[in-house]
Amino acid sequence: MTTKTELIEIIANGESSGVEFKRDVLQNHELARELVAFLNLDGGMVLLGVEDDGSIAGLTRPDLEEWVMTACRDKIRPATIPFFEIVKNVQPGKDVAVVRVARGFDVHRRRHNNRDFYHVRVGSESRELAHEELRRLFQQRGAFRADLMPVSGTRMSDLDHRRLKDYFERVRRQEVPDSDDEDGWRTLLVNTEIMVEQGVTLSGLLLFGNTPKRFLPQAGIDAVAFPGTEKDYAARERKALRGPMTPLNGQDATLLESGLVGQALEFVRRNTPATSCLESDGSRREKPVYPDEAVREAVVNALIHRDYLLIHTDIELAVYEDRLEIVSPGKLPNGITPERMRVGARSTRNQLLKDVMRDYGYLEHMGMGVPRKIIRGMQEHNNTDPELIEADERFTVRLLA
């Protein structure tokens, strides 16, 4: 229950991402709009009987609770049951109703005039979602898998048959159709979700595409090496890393062509020269600035967990004099936080990417890559603690030299 003192403090702080003021003379679809916006963000409350400027108007509508519950049943899909209470005498003779909802498990919409409207809270305003934002919201709620979305205009010939054959025969150790058996290959690729009837899936193209960037502007890594500790136009090297994620190997597992992961490792190695290190027995060995396992894990995580619904935005790989940064577009998926990653919490938004890259041995089966390979790996390598930073629709892994 909300006390009068608590409510007065909430009102004094004004409207926000979690608080909306309304007089109780609003229409039922207007109340639904505000509640849907809260449901589609992180929850919030509508205070009925409060003016936009925070002054107390009080309640006037009879049977207010029944009216609120009916609006939530008739105007919100899926229907929701809010928490409802009335705080008496917030000012003498003036009551305020609190209508509170938690974050929805589903994507909610407002139903009005036989149309559906999707809203989300942005600061102190509730606004309708654009098409791209709506797809991302469905993805966040687990109702839509972007990794299995067909990529418009693609066909089986847009996949690298050499990589597919290597994957199924060498990595998965299974028989494959003859090279000229198009129907057999199509059946295999559809059954493994690399293709759907409408074309190649987003994951299929990212993993095995001939030229993924042709169809997906966001399919790549922009790599740059700076001479100092800040971004500078006078970079030592700039390179757009392009191509499929997976490598191409010969029958004896000899590397024939690097995938994106290998290209990223090669870029880091040539821009962070190893130093000579004296061992306890008096011998010398070459010590890299960053251990391969830590860099590989950070790059793989960026590739498989990034938000591919954010188009025209590549992963960023930046080498500075004192650090290495891998920046992945989008927020962390499904409630994951940097703190949870440090202890091995597991979640993904692109399951097929994760499964295939695990088949190649890029991922820990227990989801312990971050705590073992990145955090412990850097601590053992140079006694530094990697930084995991989520901010402004970007997730950054920072390794210190």
Rounded Cα–Cα distance for residues 315 and 393 (Å): 12
Rounded Cα–Cα distance for residues 216 and 256 (Å): 24
pLDDT, mean over the chain:
92
Question: Which runs of E-coded beta strand occur in 108-217?
Answer: 109-112, 115-117, 119-122, 125-128, 195-196, 199-200
Is the bond leading into 78 cis (omega within 30 degrees of zero)? yes
Q: Which residue stretches of 290-400 are H helix?
A: 292-305, 338-342, 351-359, 369, 377-382
Closest of 220, 188, 226 to residue 205, by C-alpha:
220
Looking at residue 363, its pLDDT comes to 86
Which two structure tokens, joined as six digits, stand for 253? 């597992």
Q: Coil, strand, or helix at residue 127?
A: strand
Give tens-digit pLDDT for 219-252.
999 999 999 999 988 899 999 999 999 999 987 8
The fourth-level CATH superfamily of domain 4-140 is Schlafen, AAA domain (3.30.950.30)
- Whole-number percent of the chain with pLDDT over 90: 78
- When pLDDT is averaged across residues 140-148 and rounded to a whole number, the result is 77
369, pLDDT greater than 80: yes
CATH 3.30.950.30 maps onto the chain at 4-140
Looking at residue 186, its pLDDT comes to 96
CB 36 within 8 Å of CB 76: yes
The kind and range of the H/E element at 222 are strand 221-225
Which residues face 201 on adjacent strands? 150
CATH of 157-400, one of 3.40.50.300, 3.30.565.60, 3.30.1490.20, 3.50.50.60: 3.30.565.60
CATH 3.30.565.60 maps onto the chain at 157-400
Provide the 8-state DSSP code for 148. Answer: G
